[in-house]
Amino acid sequence: MNLPNSIEIGGIDVRFEWVDDLTDPDGQDCWGETSSASGSILLDRSLRNNPKRLFSTVIHELMHAISSEYLSFGGDLSEQQVESMTLGFVEVYRQLGPWLEKARKAAYATG
């Protein structure tokens, strides 16, 4: 399954970009990195071979992008908060994924 080129978050177009040997701002190896300034989520190309890690990394980076866009009090969630929310979301989604997809289709059905 291919990841879309971009996603809209709070009216902002956020691009997904694949890169080799991704590092965070501190120079540490990482799987993903969100840049609000450039409107992009960088993903390490090696994730294409690891669907489970890709799923959790995309959710993790989306949590960063969402917190950056929607937290109006001037601060993003911390890395620990994002990681905790990611773990919780992945756990719930594993259990409710099929129902959530049916509910999404019903809620946004045209016609």
Confidence check: pLDDT of 111 > 60: no
Q: What sign for the dihedral angle of Cα 51, 76, 80, 84?
A: negative
List, for residues 30-81, the tens digit of each pLDDT value.
999 998 888 999 999 999 999 999 999 999 999 999 998 888 666 788 899 9
pLDDT higher for 111 or 42?
42
List, for residues 90-107, the tens digit of each pLDDT value.
999 999 999 999 999 999
CA distances from 67 to 29, 36, 61, 85 (A): 23, 10, 10, 11
E strand intervals along 1-111: 6-9, 12-19, 32-35, 40-44
Check if the beta carbon of residue 57 is closer than 8 Å to that of residue 31. yes
* pLDDT recorded at residue 25: 83
